Amino acid sequence: LRNPWGKIEAYKGPWCKGASEWKQVAPKIEQVLQPNKIDDGQFFMSFEDYYTFFNSMDTVHVDIDGLANDKLTNDTDLSWNLIQIRGEWISGKNAGGCDNDPKTFWTNPQYTFDIASNKEKCALIVSLLQTDTAQKRIKSNGTPQGIYEALGFYIFSIRPGSMPDSNGIYDKSGLIEVYGTRTFLYQKEITKRCELSPRKYVIIPCCFVKDKSAKYLLRIYIEGIEKVSNQNNNSNNIKLTDPNPNPPVNPNKLSNTSKLDTKPSPHPIPQPSNRDEVYDSWYYNGMNQKDIEKLQIKAKQTTTSICLIM
């Protein structure tokens, strides 16, 4: 964690540099954490305090090197590459939905990439962004409902000896799932981090529900990457070429289990309600109506400034 004063004023609370709490820590652990070598503006806290005072956490990397799987790696040793792929799901063609329905899932677009590195694991950041939401926003009067599809993606390692067909598509028998979205989110962009061993992979972006037409931007940040390509089409202007999809399946008859995947089926998060209502329910929890009305009147008479640091 970082204290709000940054380098202006050093943190002097529990678990600061030279604090007595470190005497309770085993020497091996202290050697790993190196509390006397942390930068100004950083500090440690006990898990008990964290669990007591926090109920959620967002991880923010202030620079790209923070995404690496080894924080001790020298900056000059890091090799990053950003791959951007624009694509589109088209209903009835390549909008196969998630793997709840294996009959249509494999009609989704496929992209292959190689990770070449001497490291055992390499950090991978995947961002999937919907790019055609402007018109939907106008039609929905700016509310979240109806603007976004529930997005996700799956990553597969390619079995040795497996080859794509003439359209650049790998058969499911030649792929092994190494990462899959378990919770699909109704929002403009999803970003996930994982660590993969150096080898060849296939990534399949998808919506939770099949036959949802939408455009997207897929971005992949890979540490120590050597080669990434769209196996469907080698052109820089990516135009997906997919095999004919299987006949559509009645959504009411879809099974939540797949013979190919024994893990729990993914579940979408319900479309978000009005944020003001959510925040109000948290803020006013336990207060009587009279106190709530007083606060609302006071809030209308107060001007507040905020700063969002990106």
Residues in the chain: 310
Q: DSSP code of 266?
A: P
DSSP string for residues in 89-130: E-TTTT---STTSHHHHTTS--EEEE---SSS-EEEEEEEEE
Residue listed under structure tokens 């007083």: 294
How far, in Å, CA of 63 to CA of 303, rounded? Answer: 34
Closest of 279, 217, 180, 174 to residue 84, by C-alpha: 217
Element (H, E) at 262: none
How far, in Å, CA of 156 to CA of 152, rounded? Answer: 14
Contacts for 121 with CB less than 8 Å, ≥ 6 apart:
69, 195, 196, 197
Element (H, E) at 205: strand 200-207
- Residue 9 has phi, psi (to 5 degrees) of -140, 125
Contact (Cβ atoms closer than 8 angstroms) between residue 128 and residue 221 = no
Q: DSSP code of 2?
A: B
Q: DSSP code of 232?
A: T
Contact (Cβ atoms closer than 8 angstroms) between residue 110 and residue 231 = yes
Query: In 3-state terms, what secondary structure has residue 132?
Result: coil
Q: DSSP code of 258?
A: B
How far, in Å, CA of 212 to CA of 96, rounded? Answer: 8
Active centre residues (catalytic): 3
